[in-house]
A = this chain, B = another copy of it.
Amino acid sequence: MTDLFVPLDDRPAYRQIANLIEQRIVGRSLRTGDALPSESDLARQFGVNRSTVREAIRELEVHGLLGRGRGEKRLRVTRPEPRRVSSGVSRALALHDVTFLELWEAMMALEPAAAEYAAARRNAAQLRDLTRAGARFKRAAADTDAAVAAVVDFFTAVAAASGNQVLALSQAPLNLLLAPALTRIVDRVPQARSRIAEAQGKITAAIKLRKSEQARIWMEKHIRDFKRGHELELLKGER
């Protein structure tokens, strides 16, 4: 059933080296914050050229496992930031031509859950971020881009308040995909702004009062509105 021979992989040295370093990191023998040895040093240790080490390092840097603070020369072991990894996911999804419906269904699964947990577990600072994002949306009356950014921040704040990193990281890429579609909706559907503002208000209130079920329900209504808005926008676009 299984093949007798597997394609032999003499993977290039830079990939092998990247894997070796990665193992040290995920195995925690290189701990977060540790400075990596210099490139020349690594080249000596691995017995390869510095150019080869550099290509390996690029790989880990992209993964977010290595990084350096602004204006810092030496690389240090870092934990991948949610922003970095989620932007990769959303780009992948964009290249796969996901439809609005697919995006919407995923949001419909994740966001109400996040809202529910947020109501149960939010702390004062998270609540403040939430109200702040809501206020920023209301203030962005004319500026569509600012309004869309505020909506994204609102979702991000809810996810953060949920106290669940997995939910937050799963939800983050959706925001980036939502932005362009939402821009068109806000631009073309007049009632969108007021409906969003109202939903955000209700959700924030529920989270503030720790009413999980209310938070979930209003988030569901909020997301459902997006679908309606998208359909309206499509009609106007085709005119």
Residues of A that sit less than 8 Å from B by CB: 7, 14, 25-26, 32, 51, 54-55, 58-59, 62-65, 70-71, 79-80, 82, 85, 88-89, 91-96, 98, 102-103, 105-106, 108-110, 113-114, 117, 164-167, 169-170, 173-174, 177
* Residue of B whose beta carbon sits closest to that of A117: B105
Distance of A99 from chain B, by nearest CB (Å): 9
A89's partner among B85, B102, B109 (CB-CB below 8 A) is B85
Residues of B contacting A114 with CB < 8 Å?
Answer: 109
Point out which of A25, A110, A177 has the most chain B C-beta atoms below 10 A from its C-beta: A110
Q: Do B170 and A94 touch across chains, with their CB atoms under 8 A apart?
A: no
A185 to B81, CA, bound (A): 30
Given A96-B165, A165-B102, A166-B93 in contact, is the A88-B109 Cβ separation under 8 Å?
Answer: no
Q: Do A166 and B55 touch across chains, with their CB atoms under 8 A apart?
A: no
Q: Do A92 and B169 touch across chains, with their CB atoms under 8 A apart?
A: yes
Residues of B contacting A95 with CB < 8 Å?
Answer: 25-26, 32, 65, 79-80
Distance of A178 from chain B, by nearest CB (Å): 11
